[in-house]
Amino acid sequence: MKWERKTAAIVTAVFAISLASSILFSFGMINLNVYNVKVLGAQTYTVQPYVELAYILVSLLLVTAAMLLMIRRNMSKLISGLFAFISFFVLIEFYSVFFFSFVDYIGQYVGLIALVAAALTVVYYFKYAGSVARNVINVFIFITISAVMAAALGPYPSLILIGVIAVYDYISVFITKHMLTLAKGLKGKGFLAGLTFMARSTKRVGAMLGGGDVVFPAILVNAMFFEYSALAGILALIAAVLGLSLIIFFGKKGKVYPAMAVIGPLQILFFGAYALAVIL
């Protein structure tokens, strides 16, 4: 039984918009960083992309192991608390970039305003937000993380990351199956767990898109867009949307699929075609 067409279309549209929004956010982040260095005198740091890649991969393994342990011990409050803590700092970055457009008016108070906005967002999320509002806030989180990682990695480490995650996603869903345990345990726990879409016919959850399924494709989209060309970034975006579409339009309802196992190879394939046509 296939997913509802409306639900599938909404998931695809939100995914595509999220990837495109990550590009816009990266523009804002770059401009903010330039402002901080030139106007406020902030220090610049030398980034070692492959070292950053190693940190990211090790961190992902450690976080996954920690989450599985907390799920097995039914430590749901601790999980929610950690999500809120991490997301608070990510949201500070998001709002710093968002409010930067008003920098001529609020100038040095951007950081303070971003901090207050992030705190209020966390409270709103857990106390008052409905499913749609939570999805919107989660997208804020995802595009911020992807933009920061893309800036740290650049194109080739991002390609390696995508390849590793694609293989890992397949193994974790179909072989070890610990990703199923993780998804079930994190369902409804808050930030970073993913995007939830309701089916109109049943008014229940019709589809769920994991946070990593948005973050990782967006990393490559950003890296290609800013390191090579707009065409390279657009091709990476198209490949990601095509990969997700293959799953949601042809996959069976109620079954969990490793989205990155399809999205990742297509993004790498599209980049290979771009490299052959343009770079070489």
For the chain, residues with pLDDT lower than 50 are 1-2, 38
Do residues 12 and 243 make contact, with C-beta atoms less than 8 angstroms apart?
no
pLDDT at 148: 92
Do residues 87 and 141 make contact, with C-beta atoms less than 8 angstroms apart?
yes
- Enumerate the domain spans of the chain: 5-34+46-273
Q: Decide the pairing of beta strands 204-210 and 194-199.
A: antiparallel
pTM: 0.89
Q: Distance of CA 137 to CAs 4, 186, 192, Å? A: 25, 17, 10
pLDDT at 1: 35
Do residues 87 and 197 make contact, with C-beta atoms less than 8 angstroms apart?
no
